[in-house]
């Protein structure tokens, strides 16, 4: 019996990114439901960025570029987190006009609490999804993320 023809790359890529987008939406909805009061998905993403990459400080411009959002959108997120005491904004020592952003201990604790609050939802998923399936997907997903990250479009 002949094999069915392979879909073209464009069709595969569209289907892949469509699935990733749906998974992202469903995952964010689960996360949003358990985030501490006053912490948005964008705010959690920023706190997690500092912890995941073990960053000491970043400028608002660097953060906007990393998250591919406008400086205005990033400034808004930064100000909300700073008002909660989860990050600090300080003048850059080399140039008093520019700012640097850093996560506080309270910000780390809030990020960790958000992850801990997600555990029951993850435990529920563990009953439905084989961990080996996720482990098998991770290397390919990380490779695709790295390729996309290093080849960003302006």
* Number of structural domains in the chain: 1
Establish if 58 belongs to a structural domain. yes
Say if residue 152's pLDDT is above 90.
no
Comparing 2 with 82, which gets the higher pLDDT? 82
Say if residue 37's pLDDT is above 80.
yes
Q: What CATH number does the domain containing 58 carry? A: 1.10.10.10
Say if residue 20's pLDDT is above 90.
yes
Establish if 22 belongs to a structural domain. no
| Average pLDDT taken over every residue of the chain | 92
Which residue shows structure tokens 């995941």?
Answer: 52
Establish if 1 belongs to a structural domain. no
Q: Are the C-beta atoms of residues 41 and 35 closer than 8 Å to each other?
A: yes
Establish if 15 belongs to a structural domain. no
Distance from C-alpha of 83 to C-alpha of 85, rounded to nearest angstrom: 5
Average pLDDT over residues 106-112: 97
Amino acid 2: pLDDT: 65
Establish if 46 belongs to a structural domain. yes
Establish if 20 belongs to a structural domain. no
Q: Which domain holds residue 133?
A: 37-150
Distance from C-alpha of 1 to C-alpha of 86, rounded to nearest angstrom: 61
Average pLDDT over residues 116-125: 93
Distance, C-alpha 146 to centroid of its chain: 14
Q: Are the C-beta atoms of residues 87 and 99 closer than 8 Å to each other?
A: no
Neighbouring residues of 33: CB distance < 8 A, sequence distance ≥ 6: 121
Q: What is the residue-wise DSSP string for 87-107?
A: EEEEEETTEEEEEEEEE-HHH
Establish if 112 belongs to a structural domain. yes
Average pLDDT over residues 21-49: 94
- pTM (global) more than 0.95: no
Establish if 47 belongs to a structural domain. yes
Average pLDDT over residues 21-40: 93
* β-bridge mates for residue 99, sequence order: 91
């Amino acid at each position: 019996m002949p094999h069915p023809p392979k879909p073209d790359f464009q069709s595969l890529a569209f289907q892949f990114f469509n699935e990733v987008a749906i998974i992202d939406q469903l995952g964010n909805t689960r996360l949003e439901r358990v985030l501490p009061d006053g912490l948005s998905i964008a705010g959690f993403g920023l706190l997690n960025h500092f912890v995941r990459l073990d960053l000491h400080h970043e400028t608002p411009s660097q953060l906007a570029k990393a998250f591919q959002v406008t400086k205005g959108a990033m400034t808004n997120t930064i100000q909300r987190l700073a008002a909660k005491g989860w990050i600090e904004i300080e003048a850059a020592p080399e140039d008093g006009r520019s700012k640097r952003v850093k996560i506080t201990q309270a910000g780390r604790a809030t990020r960790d609490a958000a992850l801990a609050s997600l555990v029951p939802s993850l435990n529920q998923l563990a009953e439905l999804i084989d961990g080996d399936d996720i482990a098998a997907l991770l290397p390919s997903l990380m490779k695709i993320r790295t390729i996309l990250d290093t080849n960003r479009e302006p």
